[in-house]
Amino acid sequence: MSILIVLLYVGIVWIDPYGLLKQGLKRDFYVTSALCLLSFSIAVALAMDWQIPSPSPWIVQWVGKIF
């Protein structure tokens, strides 16, 4: 399963962020690459059945402070 995810992300990175770099949009390339790296790390963690802590208690606290 993890090999499939790696191959899928290689295809996505080759098409999307690399195309931005070829067009000269460096800032867009860096933002897209950072988000893609974050997404890739979460996808690999889920494929390996690692337990990812839920951010919901933090979100509930932040919303509680706002309201």
Residue bearing tokens 């999307």: 16
Q: What is the pTM of this model?
A: 0.61
Taking only the tens place, the pLDDT of each residue in 25-67 is: 888 888 888 888 888 888 888 888 888 777 788 888 888 888 7
Q: What is the DSSP string of 2-45?
A: HHHHHHHHHHHHHHTHHHHHHHT-HHHHHHHHHHHHHHHHHHHH
Tokens of 11: 């295809």
8 A C-beta contact, residue 46 and residue 9: no
8 A C-beta contact, residue 20 and residue 28: yes
